[in-house]
Amino acid sequence: MHLKNDLLIRAAKGQMTERKPVWLMRQAGRILPEYRAVRERLSGFIELVKTPELAAEVTLQPVDILGVDAAIIFSDILVIPEAMGLPYEMIEKKGPFFPKTIQSADDILRLKQAEPDDLAYVLEAIRLTKTALNGRVPLIGFAGAPWTIFSYMVEGSGSKTFSKARAMLYTEPDMAHSLLQLITESTIHYLKAQIKAGADLVQVFDSWAGILPKEHYEAFALPYIRQICEAIKATPLTVFAKGAYFSRAALAALDCEVIGLDWNMDIAESRAIIGKDKTLQGNLDPAVLYGSFSEIKKATETMLDRFGPGRHIVNLGHGVYPDIQPDKVRCFIETVKEYGQPSHAS
Ligand code: CP3
């Protein structure tokens, strides 16, 4: 379908744009009262994820209400472990919880490769969203990076250290590789199915990249992201490896169009390491949106100045925090639109 606003896609490919596209990670979620209203009527987060009509409805909300230049399909990275045979729960105010976790080679043998059919509810949500968007803005599909998915499957919940997951890399490296490979194959099939269903760009979230030492990141995380990059050819691909400042040169060598920067990564230094052949995405500190409107405007303009006219998709350096006021998010978006700086092809 023809896209009326294709700024995101052109910026991802390094083509000239009249102004930079802007969207926010976690834009479809608790920042919007309209989201919370839909969510309150249901048994929980998972029911929302598994009801395509409602997932599509909340995917569209930030496009209508905030004026972002892209929609991101409402789902979660944890649908992949579930499709592999490891179901999750989402505990109110606490986060994900896996009643069973992966501790042994036998546990891995009991898993299966996820097939697109296991994730039919996400694919249906994508199709419904594409129809409803009618080309207004591109739709972003996504998946967790293998290392981040592995972390949850071994740890069983969020954690400050992910010490169980990290321990396995030292104690059972072969086992870790076999699980990472199974996740990778599941993810490749899943992303290809999302693209077939209508996703215009896909993003891989490596949220826990930053807890690994460089050697482990390059042994246990990057090779699997590389496989994904090599398999996905039909749309642009974004790799967001939060905290992996130490591997920016290796990330730059991936066959992907866009690299996400978190707010700790220096913009000029990142551009120098990554080079001109990639679009950079990011990277305003999400906490800036707690500030006043004038502070948000100033910080956003400073960020835009620092990125300059090169290939750039504007975003925060991580997901928007759920207690941010929608007006503050709108101020960020409006500032980008008013700044109006063209982004050049490299
Ligand atoms: O970005 C979007 O707007 C699309 C939706 C989206 C969600 N999760 C919805 C969600 C996306 C892209 C994700 C990705 C995701 N999920 C990541 C990677 C991005 C990141 O933030 O690092 C991770 C690590 C997860 C796992 C996850 N899901 C956690 C740790 C939590 C609990 C913490 C939290 O933010 O509440 C979730 C729950 C979740 N996923 C919610 C939403 C809107 C909140 C639950 C609710 O509404 O009840």
Tokens of 128: 């419904």
Distance CA 74, CA 140 (A): 10
Q: Is 307 in the pocket of ligand 1 (CB under 6 A)?
A: no
pTM: 0.97
Active site residue 35: no
Question: What is the whole-number distance in angstroms between the Cα of residue 76 and the centre of ligand 1?
Answer: 6
Q: What is the pLDDT of residue 340?
A: 79
Mean of the per-residue pLDDT values of the chain: 97
Q: For the segment 290-341, what is each residue's pLDDT rounded down to a tens digit?
A: 999 999 999 999 999 999 998 999 999 999 999 999 999 999 999 999 997 7
Close Cβ partners of 95 (under 8 Å, ≥ 6 residues apart): 157, 158
Q: Tell whether the model's pLDDT for residue 346 goes beyond 90.
A: no
Other C-beta atoms lying within 10 Å of the C-beta of residue 20: 24
Instruction: Please give the structure tokens belonging to residue 154.
Output: 């071994």
77-130 per-position pLDDT tens digit: 999 999 999 999 999 889 999 999 999 999 999 999 999 999 999 999 999 999
Is residue 142 within 6 Å of ligand 1 at its C-beta? yes
pLDDT at residue number 286 = 98
Contact predicate 6/70, CB 8 Å: no
pLDDT tens readout for residues 218-246: 999 999 999 999 999 999 999 999 999 99
Question: Is pLDDT of 161 > 90?
Answer: yes
Residue count of the chain, please give it: 346
Q: Which atom of ligand 1 is nearest to the CA of 144?
A: 18
Residue whose Cα lies nearest atom 48 of ligand 1: it is: 45
Q: Give the pLDDT band (50/70/90) at residue 345.
A: low
